[in-house]
């Protein structure tokens, strides 16, 4: 049986990357629809949802870090720190993509 901290750790490692992948794929498909309909508010909404989901994965990563720090499991601590850094990187990527949407409007 898989322990709960290990599930949280794997979710924290894989979750932000999957969130960004889903965001990237859906933004390419929805951008044309949003531009045709004049609904440019959809893109910032998608970014906000992706940021919230990535933030939830960061909270889970922090919780696993605290758990593994209490138990003294060095490999768990290392993977928790890696997942925290990866989650922060994904959040920065999402923010930079939203900034690029404001600087160069996708609907021209």
- pLDDT band at residue 5 under the 50/70/90 scheme: low
pLDDT score recorded for residue 76:
85
- Name the pTM for this structure: 0.85
Residue 3 has pLDDT above 60, yes or no: yes
pLDDT tens sequence across 10-60: 888 899 899 999 999 998 888 888 888 888 888 889 999 999 999 999 998
The DSSP-derived string for the chain is: ---HHHHHHHHHHHHHHHHHHHHHHHHHHHHHHHHHHT-TTHHHHHHHHHHHHHHHHHHHHHHHHHHHHHHT-HHHHHHHHHHHHHHHHHHHHHHHHHHHHHHS-S--
pLDDT score recorded for residue 48:
94
| Domain boundaries along the sequence of the chain | 4-103
Q: Which residue has the higher pLDDT, 41 or 92?
A: 92
- pLDDT band at residue 2 under the 50/70/90 scheme: low
């Amino acid at each position: 049986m898989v322990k709960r901290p290990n599930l949280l750790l794997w979710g924290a490692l894989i979750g932000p990357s999957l969130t960004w992948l889903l965001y990237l794929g859906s933004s390419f498909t929805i951008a044309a629809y949003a531009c045709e309909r004049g609904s440019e508010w959809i893109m910032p909404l998608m970014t906000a949802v992706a940021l919230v989901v990535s933030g939830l994965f960061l909270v889970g990563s922090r919780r696993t870090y605290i758990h593994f720090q209490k138990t003294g499991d060095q490999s768990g601590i290392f993977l928790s720190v890696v997942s925290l850094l990866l989650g922060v990187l994904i959040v920065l990527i999402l923010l930079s993509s939203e900034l690029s949407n404001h600087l160069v409007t996708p609907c021209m």
